[in-house]
Structure 1
Amino acid sequence: MNVRARPAHRRRVAAALSLLACVGVAVATPSAGAADGHKSTRVETAPVSWPADLTRITSDDVNVRYAKGALSVRDTAFRPASAETGRGYGTQVLAPEELDAPVDRVSAVLVTETPGDGDAEVVVDVRGRSAQGAWTEWIPAGQAGQAGQAGQDGQDGQGASGQGTADPDSAGPGTAVLPRSVTTVQARITLWDTAGETRVRSLRLSAEKGTAPRTSAGATAVTARVFATREGLVGRTTANGHIIQPNDHFVALPSRRGLSPNGSGQYSVQVCGPARCETAPVWDVGPWNTKDDYWNPSATRETFKDLAQGMPEAQAAYETGYNGGRDGSGRTVLNPAGIDLADGTFYNVGLNDNGWVTVTYLWTGDQTGKSFPTWGTDVRIRQQATTASPEVARLAGPTTVNVKCQVHGQRITVDGITNDGWAYLPAFGGYVSNIFIDVVESWLPGVPDC
């Protein structure tokens, strides 16, 4: 949900409804069509709701503080490394909420206090995780202009809450429809603020089951050939709070929808350059744009919906003069970059200068199997369960992988650990030794034989 500060002669407390219907809606009744023999598409269960804990600042949060009953940007001079903006930036990743039943729709009621300069913005994103442990993308809560009304004069603190659509099949602009049913919901608040006067007073979330999941079975991860630039910027801080190291391994993409929390590989890409492929987590936002999820189809792409899937806006602007040759912030685009590579990733895939790479956005494919964390650096993935088999990719550092099945293969020893188990990773079409799966068991629990 985008809540922009409204010009005003004095501060007001504004409340905005993002994502679905108002909190506390009762169980929906069958539609009139149901009496005529038509199957009702109404929601079958009442929503569950909970207040977000804004007081808890953790290592996943970036440049925010909680003081005097509100969340705000801590330092207005801070900017994410890859995406240059003119406003102070901060983000809070809230604790996941475990639910008793599957849901696929979420709503949020946000109460903010904003200055009158019109330069502040607060965004709420949500995502969900299935029982298998795979997260959906972060989904923005509605669009600009869908905010609730500001509090009336003399009623500061009394936020208004808007109404969403009553029919779950006709999702309104305030509806976040997750691509599949989930049992865990998480929210993220992002603030842009020049003056440092914007305050987030409260956030309340609710979730419910709507229609069946909209993703189709058998989907493969999206792959695109895009222009890559070297991020560099050692010592700077990324959008997820990571301090960039020499020879670092991560990437930046021009959208927050696939931004991993600090230290995790929940959203990772496979980058294939002239020399080899590497899998790296998405830890920064950029280059050029910040709302250009070009790997998504037009129906779900956040902005620049008239561009083909896989075409970054910066590339279209540079090559064909799209958007007057400018990015989403109005800057003249000087190269067609659709991805930034940290130094270690940049050189590891074989680039010595900015150039074209093939990128697979691993979270966009079917999340079959079970997700596990990994450990180690430069971990090789093989075509078969043996070190003599050709290498198909590398895991540059700790990340999260999806394991479809496992086999007994070559017995190997690493750091004093010996194991003959190998996990098949469908996103890469290859096997990795179970030694590098960060669990206690040598034979992965809950994973079938191949």
Structure 2
Amino acid sequence: MPRFRGSARRTAAVLASAALGLGVCTASGSAAAPAGRSGPAPLVWSATAAGAPPGGNTVTDAGGTRLAGGPPSASARTGERTGIQDLPAETLAAPVGSVGAELDADIPAGARAAADVRTLRADGTWSEWTEIPPDAPATLPEPSATVQARLVLIAPEGAESPRVRGARFAAGPAVAATAARESRAATYRLFATREGLVGGTTANGHVIVPRDHFVALPSRKGLAGKGTGNYTVRVCTENLARCEWAPVWDVGPWNTKDDHWNQPRQTWQDLPLGLPQAQAAYSDGHNGGKDGFGRRVANPAGIDLADGTFWDGLKLTGNAWVQVTYEWTGGGPVGTVTTSGIPLKVRTGPSTATAEAGFAASTAQVRLGCRATGQSVSGTEGTTDAWYLLESGKYVSGAYLRVAAAPPAC
């Protein structure tokens, strides 16, 4: 966890300035270098929980942010409550490559609090969230002058919540180039289970409704904020006949720190890329057949699908193997689905007369292959004859898609 101060239950062993290597804050977003230290000084800023917008599964008052009442995260089923509060994005004087944090928080025994950070990419999309580790800065996935942090609060069900009053951050300069992202997003074969749990609350604070459209992955690195879709997966039947583009709104199943689509991954680094730990535990006895919480793994699930995604998007009748693409890991033009909440139908051609081949959920951020001219349609983004190819043989109307930069013509 990041360093803590002002806590009646937990006291930092080292002052924040020493733990983060901070100088003395001088003016907005800058700091003076400490004595005896050479090189660029870190950029420093502070945020108070009271100054941030309301978060998922949290409440904020004069005493800070704490977990709201209610059930634990629906999918992970760990007996824990999770709350997230996004802090305002910061635009710094120069691109940075690392961020350290100090939280002003009270942390009861058994509870946890952390800060995650992400960067804004040149194409207007966000990198994955990276947890700031104990006593050290987090290395950012991509250098950027615009960064955003969020607070994460976790407590066992029935236990007292952490309370976070604010945070102080220090960003270090970008010192080396990072590897370019692949233009094509990563795709892996996973076992999918149906989440259900209508009326429950997801890790980002969304209350699950009947025939809902979202997914859960076993890591919060790709967890989108409530009502947003900047972390979206394309999940398809094994034969690719039907697909749904759905936002990641929950954490699970089984594990909560298993970003199996990354290399290196946050945990279980002995496993190959793309293999969820739960699948390895179920099929090969990894970790004695248990997940990260010591529970016997009863199925190899690496993704949970909300009921609407499961029944309506993919037309599944039981748990099944699916093809999952992590849209944010690739490059290229993007569009955001802007329906009034219902999913957008995906068609086999640029016309409503063609067959339906799945859905793109409201708020989903989708990669655009090319732009085709087809049937004129009126929707939330006006009237247009533009249709966008998402995947071979799968189109959506531009009338319900907010597009930042148009892709080439098909």
Structure 2 partner of 1:85: 78
Paired residues of 2:335 and 2:404 also in contact (CA < 8 A): no
Aligned pair 1:399/2:364, yes or no?
yes
Q: State percent identity of aligned pairs.
A: 44
Q: Match for 1:282: what amino acid?
A: V
Identify the match of residue 90 of structure 2 among 73, 94, 97: 97
Deviation at 1:315, TM superposition (A): 0.7
Rg bigger for which structure?
Answer: 1
CA distance in 1: counterparts of 2:59 and 2:224, whole angstroms: 18
TM alignment of 1:348-387, pairs within 5 A: 348=312, 349-366=314-331, 368-369=332-333, 372-375=336-339, 377-381=342-346, 385=350
> For the structure 1 residues 94 and 254, does the alpha-carbon distance in structure 2 shift closer, same or farther, using more than 3 Å as the test?
same
Structure 1 partner of 2:128: 137
Identify the match of residue 209 of structure 1 among 148, 173, 178: 173
Which ranges of structure 2 fall in alignment gaps of 5 or more residues? 24-30
Paired residues of 1:123 and 1:190 also in contact (CA < 8 A): yes
Deviations 1:11-51 (A, max 9, x none): 34337869x942336579xx9xxxxxxxxxx97x5432211
Structure 1 partner of 2:26: none
SS in 2 for 1:52: strand
Q: Match for 2:65: what amino acid?
A: L
Aligned pair 1:125/2:137, yes or no?
no
Structure 1 partner of 2:27: none
CA distance in 2: counterparts of 1:387 and 1:197, whole angstroms: 50
Aligned pair 1:180/2:142, yes or no?
yes
> For the structure 1 residues 389 and 46, does the alpha-carbon distance in structure 2 shift closer, same or farther, using more than 3 Å as the test?
farther
> For the structure 1 residues 49 and 383, does the alpha-carbon distance in structure 2 shift closer, same or farther, using more than 3 Å as the test?
farther
Deviation at 1:94, TM superposition (A): 1.3
Identify the match of residue 283 of structure 2 among 308, 315, 319: 319
Q: Match for 1:139: what amino acid?
A: T
> For the structure 1 residues 184 and 428, does the alpha-carbon distance in structure 2 shift closer, same or farther, using more than 3 Å as the test?
farther
- TM-score with structure 2 length normalisation? 0.84
Aligned pair 1:73/2:64, yes or no?
no
Aligned pair 1:63/2:72, yes or no?
no
CA distance in 1: counterparts of 2:222 and 2:271, whole angstroms: 19
> For the structure 1 residues 343 and 382, does the alpha-carbon distance in structure 2 shift closer, same or farther, using more than 3 Å as the test?
closer
Q: Match for 2:115: what amino acid?
A: V
Paired residues of 2:91 and 2:147 also in contact (CA < 8 A): yes
CA distance in 2: counterparts of 1:372 and 1:98, whole angstroms: 23
CA distance in 2: counterparts of 1:448 and 1:327, whole angstroms: 42
Aligned pair 1:296/2:267, yes or no?
no
CA distance in 2: counterparts of 1:26 and 1:405, whole angstroms: 49
Deviations 1:328-358 (A, max 9, x none): 0011111111111111111121211111111
CA RMSD of aligned residues (A): 3.3
Deviation at 1:429, TM superposition (A): 8.2
Structure 2 partner of 1:308: 272
Identify the match of residue 46 of structure 2 among 27, 51, 55: 51
Aligned length: 390
TM alignment of 1:8-19, pairs within 5 A: 11-14=9-12
> For the structure 1 residues 107 and 309, does the alpha-carbon distance in structure 2 shift closer, same or farther, using more than 3 Å as the test?
same
- TM-score with structure 1 length normalisation? 0.77
Of 238-247 and 415-424, more deviation after overlay is shown by 415-424
TM alignment of 1:249-264, pairs within 5 A: 249-264=213-228
Structure 2 partner of 1:167: none
> For the structure 1 residues 265 and 56, does the alpha-carbon distance in structure 2 shift closer, same or farther, using more than 3 Å as the test?
same
CA distance in 1: counterparts of 2:214 and 2:22, whole angstroms: 39
Identify the match of residue 114 of structure 1 among 107, 116, 129: 107
Aligned pair 1:22/2:13, yes or no?
no
Deviation at 1:78, TM superposition (A): 3.5
SS in 2 for 1:111: strand
Structure 2 partner of 1:447: 406
> For the structure 1 residues 179 and 382, does the alpha-carbon distance in structure 2 shift closer, same or farther, using more than 3 Å as the test?
farther
Paired residues of 2:346 and 2:356 also in contact (CA < 8 A): yes
Deviations 1:389-446 (A, max 9, x none): 7766531323223446645x12412359531223455x778653321123xxxxx665
Which ranges of structure 1 fall in alignment gaps of 5 or more residues? 32-41, 148-173, 439-443
Paired residues of 2:337 and 2:362 also in contact (CA < 8 A): no
Paired residues of 1:3 and 1:121 also in contact (CA < 8 A): no
Paired residues of 1:82 and 1:231 also in contact (CA < 8 A): yes
> For the structure 1 residues 47 and 406, does the alpha-carbon distance in structure 2 shift closer, same or farther, using more than 3 Å as the test?
farther
CA distance in 2: counterparts of 1:374 and 1:267, whole angstroms: 15
Paired residues of 2:350 and 2:375 also in contact (CA < 8 A): no
CA distance in 2: counterparts of 1:121 and 1:428, whole angstroms: 44
Identify the match of residue 281 of structure 1 among 234, 247, 270: 247
